[in-house]
Structure 1
Amino acid sequence: MEITLSDNALKTFARCITCLARIGNELAIQASSSQLLFHTINSSRSAYQCIAFKSGLFDAYNVSSNSLQCSVLLKAVCAVLRTPITNIDHLTVRLPDPDAPKVQWILDCYNGMRKTYWITCNVEPDIHHLSLDRQKFPSNFVVRPRDLSRLLANFQSSLQEITIIATEPSSLLTDASNEIGGKEVELRSYMDPTKDNDTLLHTQLWIDPKEEFLQYVHTGDPIDVTFSVKELKAFLSFCEGCEVDLHLHFEKAGEPILMAPKFGLEDGSHSNFDATLVLATMLISQLHEGAASEPPVGATGTHPHTEERNASHMLQENCRANVSFEPPSDHTRIWSDLSVHLKALVLWKNDRHKEKQF
């Protein structure tokens, strides 16, 4: 295998590596005559990301074998791309043969300097390609990355999990619902009921999809999904850097949530790459934990930015922004398994808190 990138394609490639490194530790590489696949999974198997590059993205693309696969440490690849992209004329990646012990990375800089790196391949790569049909998810919405980042700014930076509650627009018929003023989507900070949350800030944000989203599809009863914020923010930064909208697909609590750029290859666009992020969701529905939450008083008929300020800081006034580094309780460890079949249930590993160091 030998591939070469330059200019905008190299910038896109670097953004992809940065995003993958924020998800997992190992980069699995699969190459065929038509495309190059990069994918990774985190240590707790609750987040999986795959990026597919079409051969047309590269200045030169040559894969001699029908199927080639290997894996390298993402930390090592990030070290290669530590050189500013603006200083690089082109990047070449070579794997002499499928059984080669190392991958060669060559940076040819504008000043005439050539930097060569050799990254050791994993002897027995654990490569699992996860494929989900986006069309089978009953609910979805499209949002601009900057808009979603602005909404997430209302929550504490130490927040680990967030809940999205989706309601069918036509089902808001009660007086209590009318007070929300057509805000069919709620963002809610997840609070572990097994811990003392008296000192933590609980934030609830009601959103009107017509104002904040570019597209919103949900029918039937209200549903909710609770998932990790860390990977969401990583993918948001990736989409914002690529100047594309974010498309979220989901079903219900316990089923995975899928995120992809709006220009996804399924839409028939002419993009030369596509990305998919799949996150496990908490099995326990937050809708069943108690009565439905009440909307903030006076939120109707105000400007969207004013609504955010009215809805963001609730319940606890005597809060402090402290970060807990203790392992989550059993209540928060139970997630859907993102292995090959996505059906088995696994316990949230005790060392999940160590991921904060990455």
Structure 2
Amino acid sequence: MKCLVAGGNVKVLGKAVHSLSRVGDELYLEPLEDGLSLRTVNSSRSAYACFLFAPLFFQQYQAITPGQDPLRCKILMKSFLSVFRSPAVLEKTVERCCLSLNGRSSRLVVQLHCRYGVRKTHNLSFQDCESLQAVFDTTLCPHLLRAPARVLAEAILPFPPALAEVTLGIGADRRVILRSYQEEEADSSVRAMVTQMSLGEADFQKLQAQEGVAVTFCLKEFRGLLSFAESANLSLNIHFDGPGRPAIFAITDNLLDGHFVLATLSEPDPPPQALGPSAPRRSQSQPHSTPNLDDFASDDIDSYMIAMETPVGSSEGSLAPDLPRPHNPSPPSEEEEESEEDDAEPSTVPGTPPTKKFRSLFFGSILGPARSPQGPTPVLAEDSEGEG
């Protein structure tokens, strides 16, 4: 593979890499006939991102080198990101960028042709891998929002940088509500700050959603896509269903396509009828603490998301079922009653993040027949804030 990026497109490529770095730690690079594909997925399989750069994006594009087989490679995100560390500097100093894959040496060569004849060459080692491809259909999502990325970027400015999740929904008078997701504290005297932004229907190019629907998703990845779309002056399409179903964020241009698929928080309670200050809160029986993304509960949606990375028959992430407690027919003694009372107390320190249920985007393998599990498979994953 060999491709040449010239002019301002070098900065666009660098911005795309920065957006992908907010999602995963590894970059999957695959040259296709339709263009160069850059993909990544986070460790918990709850966020997937892809950019496809059309051949017209490049000054020169050659997907397959004559006499060689097509290459698919996986590179550490930090290594590739170091080449495009500062997009502003790239725009001022870099005139051309040449990307070439050498299967014999297992090297991705990135050459930056700068002003005054300066040439910087980066040799990045990679691993051969299967193609990482998520299969999704935006037509299956009944709700669609389309707006300039600049409008949405300004709407999330008031939210704290450390905020993990944001809730997007349709309120009264068909106003689009963006609200920070916060659970109630155990102490009613403690009031957490809740930030809410309201956008009118006139701010959107298309609003196809019913009142009362709302989904909660990670804000970190959403910021990354908005930053890229705003710099490219593109509109963002948001396709979503109900809580627990993946939300699809898409940007489209003549030279590139971008898709971010994010898991949404699965609400055990019925969704509120309307968003606003008087909207009902979460059930008091649930844990109360600051939201965090430490635990993901998996759901069987292999029919929705497919990829070709995980080997067939892999049991990674599965846990043995809990064994039932033996029944003690005799009445407990006083010491046993005290022990049971101690066990009944919460074993977590106050402020421990609750167990939240996200729909993980499972990635199976198409190298063999798909095997669907009999029930949900628990998956433990790290906080997506710690990624990248």
- TM-score normalised by the chain length of structure 2: 0.70
Percent of pairs with identical residues: 25
Q: Which amino acid aligns with 2:200?
A: D
Cα distance change on mapping 1:185 and 1:22 into 2, 3 Å = same
2:321 matched to which residue of 1? Answer: none
1:175 matched to which residue of 2? Answer: none
State the secondary structure of the residue aligned to 1:351. Answer: coil
| 1:71 CA displacement | 0.9
Are 2:227 and 1:222 aligned?
no
| 1:143 CA displacement | 1.7
Which of 118, 122, 134 is 1:117 aligned to? 122
Are 2:275 and 1:272 aligned?
no
* Cα distance between partner residues in 2 of 1:153 and 1:279: 20
1:213 matched to which residue of 2? Answer: 204
Q: Which amino acid aligns with 1:6?
A: A
Which of 132, 136, 145 is 2:140 aligned to? 136
* Cα distance between partner residues in 1 of 2:54 and 2:355: 38
* Cα distance between partner residues in 2 of 1:30 and 1:133: 21
Q: Which amino acid aligns with 1:26?
A: E
* Cα distance between partner residues in 1 of 2:387 and 2:16: 20
Are 2:207 and 1:202 aligned?
no
Which of 65, 77, 81 is 1:78 aligned to? 81
| Contact residue 334 and residue 346 of structure 1 kept, 8 A | no
Matches within 5 A, 1:323-338: 327=294, 331-338=354-361
2:55 matched to which residue of 1? Answer: 55
| 1:294 CA displacement | 5.0
Pairwise CA RMSD: 3.1
| 1:103 CA displacement | 1.0
Are 2:262 and 1:231 aligned?
no
Matches within 5 A, 1:1-358: 1-62=1-62, 63-64=64-65, 65=68, 67-82=70-85, 84-85=89-90, 86-97=92-103, 100-123=105-128, 125=129, 127-166=131-170, 182-193=173-184, 198-210=190-202, 212-219=203-210, 222-261=212-251, 264=252, 271-284=254-267, 287-288=270-271, 295=277, 327=294, 331-340=354-363, 349=380, 351-352=382-383, 355-356=385-386, 358=388
Higher mean alpha-carbon deviation, 187-196 vs 250-259, is at: 187-196
How many pairs are equivalent?
308
| 1:192 CA displacement | 3.2
Name stretches of at least 5 consecutive residues in structure 2 with no aligned partner: 279-289, 296-351, 366-371
* Cα distance between partner residues in 2 of 1:190 and 1:346: 26
Cα distance change on mapping 1:143 and 1:192 into 2, 3 Å = same
Q: Indicate the structure with greater helix content.
A: 1
State the secondary structure of the residue aligned to 1:252. Answer: coil
* Cα distance between partner residues in 1 of 2:212 and 2:12: 37
Q: Which amino acid aligns with 2:94?
A: I
* Cα distance between partner residues in 2 of 1:92 and 1:326: 38
| Contact residue 192 and residue 331 of structure 1 kept, 8 A | no
Q: Which amino acid aligns with 2:194?
A: H
| Contact residue 213 and residue 273 of structure 2 kept, 8 A | no
Q: Which amino acid aligns with 1:89?
A: E
* Cα distance between partner residues in 1 of 2:33 and 2:69: 7
State the secondary structure of the residue aligned to 2:30. Answer: strand
| Contact residue 264 and residue 358 of structure 2 kept, 8 A | yes
Cα distance change on mapping 1:153 and 1:114 into 2, 3 Å = closer
Q: Which amino acid aligns with 1:137?
A: C
- Give deviations 1:16-61, integer Å, cap 9, x for gaps: 1111112111110111233211100112221110000111211111
| 1:202 CA displacement | 1.9
Higher mean alpha-carbon deviation, 251-260 vs 329-338, is at: 329-338
Q: Which amino acid aligns with 1:77?
A: F
Cα distance change on mapping 1:190 and 1:55 into 2, 3 Å = same
| 1:166 CA displacement | 2.6
- Give deviations 1:67-122, integer Å, cap 9, x for gaps: 3211111111111223721211211111123x542111111111112111111102
* Cα distance between partner residues in 2 of 1:151 and 1:88: 33
* Cα distance between partner residues in 1 of 2:93 and 2:187: 51
The structure that has the greater radius of gyration is 2
Name stretches of at least 5 consecutive residues in structure 1 with no aligned partner: 168-179, 297-322
Cα distance change on mapping 1:195 and 1:146 into 2, 3 Å = farther
Cα distance change on mapping 1:346 and 1:144 into 2, 3 Å = farther
Higher mean alpha-carbon deviation, 74-83 vs 252-261, is at: 74-83
| 1:155 CA displacement | 2.9
| Contact residue 183 and residue 206 of structure 1 kept, 8 A | no
